[in-house]
Structure 1
Amino acid sequence: MSNTKVPKILITGATGQVGSKTIDFLLSNTDIEIVAAVRSPEKAAPFTEKGIATVILDFDDESTHLPALKGIDRILIVTGYTVDMLRQSKAILDSAKRAGVQHVVHLGACGRDDTTVAHWAWHQLIERYIEWAGFSYTHLRPETFMQNILSYGGKKAIENGIIHAYVEGARLSWVDVEDVAQVAALALSHPEIHAGKIYRLGYDAVTFNEMAALMTSIVGKPFRYEPLSPDVFLQNMINAGAEMAYMGCVYDHWKRYAAGTIPGADDTFDNFPEITGKQPVKLADFIKKHKAEFDY
């Protein structure tokens, strides 16, 4: 019998889009052990039913950090959409260092290295902290999630063929969450290959008018884009009681998209086949995959 230790991988954000899909891609890998981080026993149940180990981890409760990280070799860090992500990331990374975690895969945000979009830059500061702390690392910088055109902020993004966004005629770079999760799973499974890499992930660049034309062609019903002022977004966030330090930054970046003042807003990349051996999802593929959800 082999005494070789199987690496344990902790997935934070396990109930979210990227975390849950990353787990799906890791399930067939018998050379690692998956551990899902959840905030309550109730949220552990779906993982337990699949035979996936769970630990209680609350980014805001530092007493949960070291117990959750015990025996963990690699970690996927996915934080939420508040300015607290800075404090939370530092705290969990400090605990991970004490616990002996070796490899960190961090889900960051869009942007070139010299970005001045605030919440994108925050993620880059976390990247630098990971490096300074001496971890082996893989940094993921996904562009705009295609899933945002299904729903955004808990609401359906397209109603009766009308697409709303806050960016005027800007061209954005897009990526399917499943493609992000594939890269995350590979980086966690094979840190010897992916250590020290920054992967920018965006594989199709279109405007919302071009998106509407694609949807019209694929779904077979008319779609059109009606841009909204970023001020509408800001008021919606205020009305919803959102954390405004973060959402104020998002408001500012919508304004900059609309004004065309974000360098590289439509950057796309050719790294996906090299990383995964597969072709990335393009927007037309995504619309076809979700045709029933876009139909009305």
Structure 2
Amino acid sequence: MPTSKPAVLVTAATGRIGGSVVRSLAEDDSISLVAGVRSAAKAQALADQGIRSVLLDFDKPQTLGPALAGIDRVFLATGYSVDMLRQSKEFLDAAKKAGVRHVAHLGACGPDDTSVAHWAWHQLVERYIEWSGFSFTHLRPEAFMQNLLHYDGTQATHRGVVRQFIGDARISWVDGDDVALVASRALLQPQLHAGQTYRLGYDAKSYAEVAAIMTAVLGQPFRYEAQPPEVFLEEMRAAGAEMAYMACVYDSFKRTASGAIPGVDQTFDNFAAITGRQPVKWEEFVRKHRTALAY
């Protein structure tokens, strides 16, 4: 007798990483893909692409049970807010009741003993996933290359000037689409990726080095202009961001710039084994986003 396909729910399905996970999974007919969205308008946009969606709002707990009905595996990504702790717990409690078996969680960078606050919050969510008895894959991306384009609505690169807040520090980078590809592999074959914590960072560069790569690839002059981390705080406040979370990011920027966080430039060699591909490096990322970066 034929068996039904496992249903995979992608939360934040129209966000940067969630949207990329949806695209990675959309052509695979071994699963039944379900996209979690917060509005009917976003649901319609997905329906136009032939993708089934459900209404799911982390701040409306009454939406969780219906969204999770019949779901076998989930990709969990929460917003840049201290509310992620409450949201994740309520979602995972509802997922447990619904019979979800595997959770691929989008966390943050850092080793287990990190003292960077928002990185540690994500690790508390990881521990709750484990405590709840789910099969799991923890994803810990380093800095997203997409931050060069914008961060929470604030433009990072404008007419050849890269404005960022970590001084001359070198940090480890990953393309968000590569993170989504790892997530999709974990969701398609959870038996191969269960119990794994994947740290995802493959190219260590300073912003000045990134600007030099942009100059070489795009044939236009780019330069890095280091800004005080306090400027970041003011920009996030002006953008309406949740400031408890952004204050943690501000602290991590200050500590990174001063060299007080060891290992921020650490890279890893797990990507090819997980995906069968090589990770995107900065030269390729700049070529891929030429239209957004060129001026």
TM-score normalised per structure 1: 0.98
> SS at the partner of 1:267?
coil
1:295 is aligned with what amino acid?
A
Corresponding residue of 1:152: 151
* Structure 2, unaligned runs of 5 or more: none
1:92 is aligned with what amino acid?
F
1:164 is aligned with what amino acid?
R
CA distance in 2: counterparts of 1:27 and 1:63, whole angstroms: 27
Corresponding residue of 1:264: 263
CA distance in 2: counterparts of 1:206 and 1:225, whole angstroms: 12
Corresponding residue of 2:226: 227
More deviation, 118-127/212-221: 212-221
User: How far does residue 41 in structure 1 lie from its aligned partner after superposition?
Assistant: 1.1
Tell me whether 1:40 sits opposite 2:7 in the alignment. no
User: How far does residue 46 in structure 1 lie from its aligned partner after superposition?
Assistant: 1.3
User: How far does residue 245 in structure 1 lie from its aligned partner after superposition?
Assistant: 1.1
Corresponding residue of 2:213: 214
1:56-90 deviation line (CA, Å, top 9, x unaligned): 11101111111110000000000000000000000
1:187-236 deviation line (CA, Å, top 9, x unaligned): 00000100000000000000011111111111111111110000111122
Corresponding residue of 2:75: 76
Map residues 171-250 of structure 1 onto 2, 5 A cutoff.
171-250=170-249
CA distance in 2: counterparts of 1:178 and 1:70, whole angstroms: 28
2:163 is aligned with what amino acid?
H
Corresponding residue of 2:101: 102
Corresponding residue of 1:111: 110
Q: Work out whether residues 46 and 52 of structure 2, in 8 Å CA contact, stay in contact via their aligned partners in 1.
A: yes
Aligned residues: 295
Corresponding residue of 1:25: 24
> SS at the partner of 1:226?
strand
Q: Work out whether residues 163 and 225 of structure 2, in 8 Å CA contact, stay in contact via their aligned partners in 1.
A: yes
User: How far does residue 247 in structure 1 lie from its aligned partner after superposition?
Assistant: 1.1
Corresponding residue of 1:164: 163
Q: Which runs of 4+ in 1 moved over 3 A?
A: none
User: How far does residue 243 in structure 1 lie from its aligned partner after superposition?
Assistant: 1.6
User: How far does residue 241 in structure 1 lie from its aligned partner after superposition?
Assistant: 3.4
Tell me whether 1:251 sits opposite 2:250 in the alignment. yes
* Structure 1, unaligned runs of 5 or more: none
User: How far does residue 156 in structure 1 lie from its aligned partner after superposition?
Assistant: 2.5
CA distance in 1: counterparts of 2:52 and 2:162, whole angstroms: 41
CA distance in 2: counterparts of 1:200 and 1:160, whole angstroms: 33
1:272 is aligned with what amino acid?
F
Identity, % of aligned positions: 58
User: How far does residue 100 in structure 1 lie from its aligned partner after superposition?
Assistant: 0.3
Corresponding residue of 1:289: 288
1:142-184 deviation line (CA, Å, top 9, x unaligned): 1111111112221331111111110000101110011011100
CA distance in 2: counterparts of 1:31 and 1:291, whole angstroms: 34
> SS at the partner of 1:29?
coil
TM-score normalised per structure 2: 0.98
